[in-house]
């Protein structure tokens, strides 16, 4: 048994060694790239998936066709290394702004099949961020809110720094401040306490 286990261990080590040699030889990318970059052949082909930023007009035209957009509408994100690639820059409008009466393919998302999705689509669904016009201008709303919150904070801060209460004094009890109840000696006479001044 021990010999068999030893043999199997040696085989595993040999296989691991071969695998490492095969992977590190030549231009093969590292293990993480291999694990994460493998895609099943049943999925979309490489030209249907988002690619890198389009540099030539032909690449732009191909990207516009891939995303089902007209060439005038297709505009990629600026290429500053943030990782967008050739994904189109769509107007920042929430799904709530779309026509509620049109027969969308997916009515709750107000989207048709095959339509290019905004990069932040999951933010712009109707349950979340909404860019519909507001009753009052945004600037007015913001100023009013910040003004109110700022004023309340200021007043509370001032109240902490300069407290202003009704004047209070320690509670006065009868029977010489409850001398007997507090365990005072009944033989001894408590000294009288005067709480007033005439």
Binding site for another protein (CB under 8 A): 36, 43-44, 48-50, 52-53, 66-70, 72-73, 80-85, 87, 97, 99, 105, 112-117, 119, 121, 132-135
| Beta carbons within 10 angstroms of residue 63's beta carbon | 23
Output the smallest distance, CB 182 to another protein, in A.
Answer: 18
Q: Which is nearer to another protein, 10 or 55 (CB)?
A: 55
Nearest-angstrom CA–CA distance, 27 and 37: 15
Nearest-angstrom CA–CA distance, 2 and 180: 91
- Give the C-alpha distances (Å, rounded to integers) separating 148 from 95, 102, 145, 157, 172: 31, 41, 5, 14, 43
Check residue 94 and report its DSSP letter. -
Output the smallest distance, CB 109 to another protein, in A.
Answer: 10
Q: Which is nearer to another protein, 94 or 179 (CB)?
A: 94
Q: Which is nearer to another protein, 73 or 189 (CB)?
A: 73
Output the smallest distance, CB 85 to another protein, in A.
Answer: 4
Output the smallest distance, CB 113 to another protein, in A.
Answer: 4
Q: Which is nearer to another protein, 98 or 182 (CB)?
A: 98
Is there a contact between 53 and 85 (Cβ–Cβ < 8 Å)? Answer: yes
Which phi and psi (to 5°) does residue 104 adopt?
A: -70, 155
Nearest-angstrom CA–CA distance, 97 and 136: 17
Q: Which is nearer to another protein, 107 or 150 (CB)?
A: 107
Which of 81, 63, 82, 58 has its CA nearest to residue 73? 63
Output the smallest distance, CB 22 to another protein, in A.
Answer: 24
């Amino acid at each position: 048994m021990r010999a068999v286990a030893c043999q199997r261990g040696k085989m595993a080590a040999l296989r691991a060694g071969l695998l490492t040699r095969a992977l590190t030889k030549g231009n093969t990318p590292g293990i993480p790239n291999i694990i994460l970059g493998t895609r099943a052949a049943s999925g979309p082909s490489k030209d249907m998936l988002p690619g890198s930023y389009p540099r030539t007009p032909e690449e732009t035209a191909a990207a516009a066709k891939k995303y089902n957009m007209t060439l005038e509408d297709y505009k990629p994100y600026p290429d500053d290394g943030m990782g967008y690639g050739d994904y189109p820059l769509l107007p920042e409008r929430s799904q709530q702004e779309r026509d509620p009466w049109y027969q969308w393919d997916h009515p709750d998302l107000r989207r048709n099949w095959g339509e290019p999705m905004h990069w932040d689509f999951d933010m712009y669904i109707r349950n979340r961020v909404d860019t519909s016009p507001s009753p009052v201008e945004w600037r007015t709303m913001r100023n009013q809110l910040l003004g109110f919150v700022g004023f309340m904070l200021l007043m509370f801060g001032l109240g902490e720094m300069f407290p202003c209460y009704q004047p209070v004094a320690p509670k006065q009890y009868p029977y010489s401040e409850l001398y007997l109840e507090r365990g005072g000696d009944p033989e001894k006479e408590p000294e009288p306490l005067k709480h007033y001044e005439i």
